[in-house]
Chains A and B, each alone.
Chain A
Amino acid sequence: MSLGGRLRRAAELVALPAVLLAAWWVTSDGSESFYFPPLREVVGVLPETWFAGGADARIVSDVLPSLARLLTGYGLAAVVGVGAGLLIGSSPTLRALVEPVLEVFRAVPPPATVPLLVAVAGIDDRMKVLVIVFGCLWPILLNTVEGVRAVDPVLADTCRSYGIRGPGRVRSLVLRSASPQIMTGLRQALSVGIILMVISEMFAASNGIGFTVVQFQRTFAVPQMWTGIIVLGLLGVTLAWVFRAVETRVLRWYEGIRSAHRSGG
């Protein structure tokens, strides 16, 4: 892409957010409402709310624990989901047996499991990680199953005739071939995971972004509460960016095929 093209693309990316922020800034500016303070005030308290206090700043004491629980739960769900998805997707018998059960589990809204998990696993990090795992697992698992099922039979025959089997076959054929669907599952799971990270911290916690937002609300520190929501938004956007960068790398071949087909090649 040329420099002009890059600038144009960057401008397109930030144009609407800039307009919306400006609109928020202007319309909220003389606000007398207790629950909708001026954006000027919210932005004003943001640095001291999150960054002041050195090692005790909330960015360390709340954001990092939240992030650690999210990544642990998400990572566990990814390993278990992809692993189980490989097994279930490769065996028609196993699939027929477990698919109805999976559909039921997927249909359960994960936040509904929080009271149960609090009872079973207590109110510590274990509970929060489990809630995140339980929510993230299903999109990853079900998408992996679909991807594994869709392996091209000609490629499968090619592997067989060249004696490529076992772990090598999984690595060279099945995982790569299913990677577009696996990435779709991982992307869905990431947004589910962020939601559950916040919700689990609102139930029973002593730190975390969700905990902080609820604390501010209970103490009527409304501008500070708003900064919590903004921090969550920024965290979500950052994680989505990181995900996109990884996805672009992993699925470069897939995008390449699609654009080759589009141009009639």
Chain B
Amino acid sequence: MLEVRGLRKVYTSRDRTVEALRDITFSVAAGELVCLVGPSGCGKTTLLKCLAGLLGPTGGEVSVEGRPVSGPPPGMAVVFQVYGRSLFPWMTVAQNVELPLRHKGRGRAERRRLVTAALADVGLSHTPDAYPWQLSGGMQQRVAIARALAYEPHVMLMDEPFAAVDAQTRADLEDLIRTLWDRTGVTTLFVTHDIDEAVYLGERVVVLSSSPTVVQDDLPVDLPRERDQLDTRALPRFTELRSRVYGEIRSAQRAASRADGA
């Protein structure tokens, strides 16, 4: 479904070059929910932009549904980290969700059906006529998720979508993502810097190293499919997985600082 082979990204400016991504290879099968976790500053957003076709890689290849990515793939929806800036402030909630559908050429009746269903899915049926800036951060991110859902994507990319909301809202939104994925089965790649979040949400966790970034580990999450904020997080297996990912990231950081010192 989503294939990344030997992806490399080097930023070149006049006086220096920065190797953000060195060699990234992983894949996501159709219907999977994969979390991509890495330390802050490891180039997660760069990687996501390359996957979304918003940024051209320096080397390697990304393909979605068998086609190499050279621009934004048609079957993909992206939920950005900064929800406050990815919603159109001059449009109501419903208009925001509807906009991509207009450009996709959907008829009026179908647009209305999709918008209503998507808003119901994220629990925002009561605020279609509000403007984004009248809503809390968590609700704004729900609107962005509804917009992605209504688009009926084959792949959904999420770039640290809950980094800026409070803990309770974050837990609610995590459960929302699990529920939606369970029901729609849409292939989802969820990028986060939060190890607990990655293990709790994912069916698989891809661990990234520090910059210049490589894939450090790729481990399946063998937790019960039904996740619960209290019970799942209390499982011994959750703690084991969490510790393993944490260890990986720490050793990657150590290796990076040794390489810097040498």
Chain A residues packing against B (C-beta within 8 Å): 152, 154-155, 157-158, 160-164, 168, 172-173, 176-177, 179, 253-254, 256-257, 260, 265
Docked-complex contact B131 and A164, CB < 8 angstroms? no
In the assembled complex, B134 has its CB within 8 A of some CB on chain A: yes
**Distance between B245 CB and nearest chain A CB, rounded to angstroms:** 28
Given the known inter-chain contacts A155-B88, A161-B77, A163-B103, please indicate yes or no for A256 contacting B72, CB distance below 8 A.
Answer: no
Docked-complex contact B86 and A158, CB < 8 angstroms? yes
Q: Which residues of A contact B90 (CB under 8 A)?
A: 176-177, 179, 253-254
**Distance between B131 CB and nearest chain A CB, rounded to angstroms:** 6
Q: Which residues of A contact B91 (CB under 8 A)?
A: 172
| Complex: chain B residue closest to A156, CB-CB | B54
Docked-complex contact B133 and A256, CB < 8 angstroms? yes
Contact indicator per residue, chain B 99-134, by CB within 8 Å of chain A (1) or not (0): 110111000000000000000000000000001011
**Overall SS of chain B's interface:** loop
Contacting A at CB under 8 A, from B34-80, are: 49, 52-54, 71-72, 74, 76-78, 80
**Distance between B119 CB and nearest chain A CB, rounded to angstroms:** 17
A–B Cβ pairs within 8 angstroms, 5 of them: A157-B78, A163-B72, A164-B99, A253-B133, A254-B90
Docked-complex contact B54 and A157, CB < 8 angstroms? yes
A256 to B80 CA separation, bound complex (whole angstroms)? 23
**Distance between B86 CB and nearest chain A CB, rounded to angstroms:** 5
Contact of A161 among B52, B82, B88, B99 (CB under 8 A): B52
Docked-complex contact B131 and A253, CB < 8 angstroms? yes
In the assembled complex, B89 has its CB within 8 A of some CB on chain A: yes
| Complex: chain B residue closest to A258, CB-CB | B133
Q: Which residues of B contact A155 (CB under 8 A)?
A: 85-86, 88
Contact of A256 among B54, B74, B76, B134 (CB under 8 A): B134
**Distance between B215 CB and nearest chain A CB, rounded to angstroms:** 24
Given the known inter-chain contacts A162-B100, A163-B72, please indicate yes or no for A157 contacting B80, CB distance below 8 A.
Answer: yes
**Distance between B254 CB and nearest chain A CB, rounded to angstroms:** 34
Contacting A at CB under 8 A, from B116-159, are: 131, 133-134, 151
